[in-house]
Each structure stands twice: as C-alpha cells, then as structure tokens.
Amino acid sequence: MLSFTIQTMIVSALLADFGVASAIIPKTSTTAKGKTHWTRHDSIGLGPRQEHGVAGFDDQIFVVGGVRYDNNNTVETVNLVEYYTIKEQKWHVAAPLPQAVNHANAAAVDGKVYVLGSLAAGVNWTALPETYVYTSGNDSWTALAPMPEGTARGASAIGVYNDAVYLAGGQLYLEIVPPYQQPGLDLVSSYNTTSNTWNTALPRLPQARQHVSGTVVGSTFYVIGGRKFDIHSFHNTTSALNLNNPTEWREMAQMPTARGSLACAALETVIYCFGGEGDASNEYEIFGQVEAYDTVTDTWSSLPPMEVPRHGTGAVALAGKIWIPGGGVKTAMAPVGIVDSFEVL
C-alpha cells in the first residue's frame, strides 16, 4: 500500500484537478436553518477507506469494514473497525468484525453499533446475511439473528426509529469486473434490536434502488436517491414511509441532483445529502453537490459543495454537526481514489 504521505500528496493533486482549493470554495451559505461551513479533522486513523459503514452515538463516530488498497495496490475488503471521539478529537481502534465486509448496513441504537447485512469480497461482491452487534463496554462483536432468506443485501438506505433499524433497497451482488452488473432491490425490512427479530412484511419501495441513502426524521423514514443498475442510472426521488402506520410510501419533492452512492444525515428537521458517483460532467465522475431537504416544507435547497467531493462513504449527525469520514474521489475504486479525509459540516 502507498504510504499515507505519498497518498496525501497524490490526493492533494487530484483535489487540485477537481478545482476545490479552499481559496475558491464558499465557506458559508445562508439557508432556512442558518449558516453552514466545513471543518477538517484528523484523517481516519487506519488510513484510507471506502464503501464502509458509518454509525455514531454519544460522541463516537464509527468506521466499519470497507475496502482499501493492499501492498500490491489491489483492492481488498477488510474487517477493520475504528471510532473517533469528538471530545478527545482522536481515533481509536476497536475489535474487528468477525469477517471482512463492504457496503455494510451499519446503524447505532442505544449505545451499540449494528451491522445488518453487507457484501463480501470476490469477483462478485455478494450479499452476506450475517448480522452483528458491537458493545463498547467489552469491545466485542456478537452474532445476531441473520437476515431472513431472500432479504440479504448491502448498500441499503438505513433508518432508526425507537428500538428498530429499517433497511430499504440495496443490492444482492455487485460485479467488479465487466459487465459490472449491480441490480437494485425494492425490499424493505426492519430489525428489532430488543427482540432480535426481523419484520419483512413492510411495503416495497416505489422503485428498486441500491447505493441509496436515507434517515428517519420524527416518525418518518425518508429514502433518497440511489441508482437502478449501474453508476449512471440515477434516482432523484424522495420517498417517505410513516413508521407509525407503514402501509404505503409517499413521493415527496424530488432532489435537485439525481445521484447514487450519496451520504445523507439529518439535523433536526432538515436532511443533508452529500456527494455521489457517476457525474459525467467531470473527469473523475464524482458529485460534489450538497443539497438539503426541509421535511416541514417539502422543499430542497443547495449549499456549498463538499471540500473533498466523494462517494462510497456515510454521514452521521452528532453534536449539532454532520461527520463524513473517508470515501472515494474517483469513480468505482480507481487507483489512488480511496481517501482518509474526515470533514464535518
């Protein structure tokens, strides 16, 4: 693997090619909820990571599994887990997952981190039904009830409501060699963290999608964007499900920029969506757009772009900020495209 110093130099050159030098990026933008700005924090402790799970609770932001480059400059899926503490402003290594995974469906509930389905390494990255929970008190992972037959998947939209984790969409497999097939799914299911049981009798999404994002605001699960079957087949839809009466999905205002492999998180009643993959307007095919959805007014607005445009990461809202660790600055997993950048909105 390239040294972090060399990687930083190369990534800096890539970012210059993107035209995102700090001197030309607007630092603030006024929205209905006030001003926003970006800050840079210490890079991911164990180095660059992409297609990882991101979850957080209290003052801890977790990076779970994902892919990186090995010493032969080959993409490898890892079982590495680490977390950043906001108070200490420091990265810590946690117990590794029992198996290496990418595109993990990760969520935090009641001070624990759950991995509920993922993809495994291989010529086809195929779905894994195994599920796990991390307990920080003893720094260990425990196996849980596996995903029911026919529902295993990774790259899903994830939402948490009360003691349940909701999964919408995702993919059964992803080919990393031609013809790069990766069909999306319209499955919706939930996992009850108290009873260790699954519910698969939820209404399906209006459109199949994978590399999709989502979050819960109040009692509504919002599922945003995603792609149908490859990096250029985007959705710009915003779908909403009332979790107190989950009978049907409602179509809300459409996101201005259709994209997949985006990251979304909510602060109060506003959902912020970041980046994505497949933008044909630039050399590296990465979206830098940041757009905000006001769930009260059902409207979208645009904010300053990401300082490091990227895809293949996640976002978590903690302490009044949104934290985004790692990702890819080039389409797919091109050489020197995986980064350890850690920005906060």
**Residue 30: per-residue pLDDT:** 35
| pTM, full prediction | 0.90
CA angle 187, 157, 290 (to 5 degrees): 145
**Residue 276: per-residue pLDDT:** 97
pLDDT, tens digit, for every residue of 96-113? 999 999 999 999 999 999
CA dist 311 and 291 (Å) reads: 15
- Pair of tokens at residue 27: 């630092």
CA angle 94, 95, 99 (to 5 degrees): 125
Contact criterion met (CB below 8 Å) for 272 and 289: no
Q: In this structure, is residue 242 part of a structural domain?
A: yes
What type of residue sits at position 324?
I
**Residue 10: per-residue pLDDT:** 34
**pLDDT of 28 above 80:** no
Q: In this structure, is residue 19 part of a structural domain?
A: no
> Longest C-alpha distance within the chain, in Å?
53
Helix, strand, coil distribution of the chain in percent, nearest 5 = 5, 45, 50
**Residue 332: per-residue pLDDT:** 67
Q: Domains in the chain: how many in total?
A: 1
pLDDT, tens digit, for every residue of 219-270? 999 999 999 988 889 999 999 999 999 999 999 999 999 999 999 999 999 9
CA dist 167 and 3 (Å) reads: 37
Q: In this structure, is residue 62 part of a structural domain?
A: yes
Q: In this structure, is residue 16 part of a structural domain?
A: no
Q: What is the CATH number of the domain that holds 235?
A: 2.120.10.80
**Residue 74: per-residue pLDDT:** 85
Q: In this structure, is residue 58 part of a structural domain?
A: yes
Where would I find the H helices in the chain?
A: 4-18
pLDDT, tens digit, for every residue of 167-207? 999 999 998 888 888 999 999 999 999 999 999 999 999 99
Q: In this structure, is residue 54 part of a structural domain?
A: yes
Domain around 74: 46-324
Q: In this structure, is residue 345 part of a structural domain?
A: no
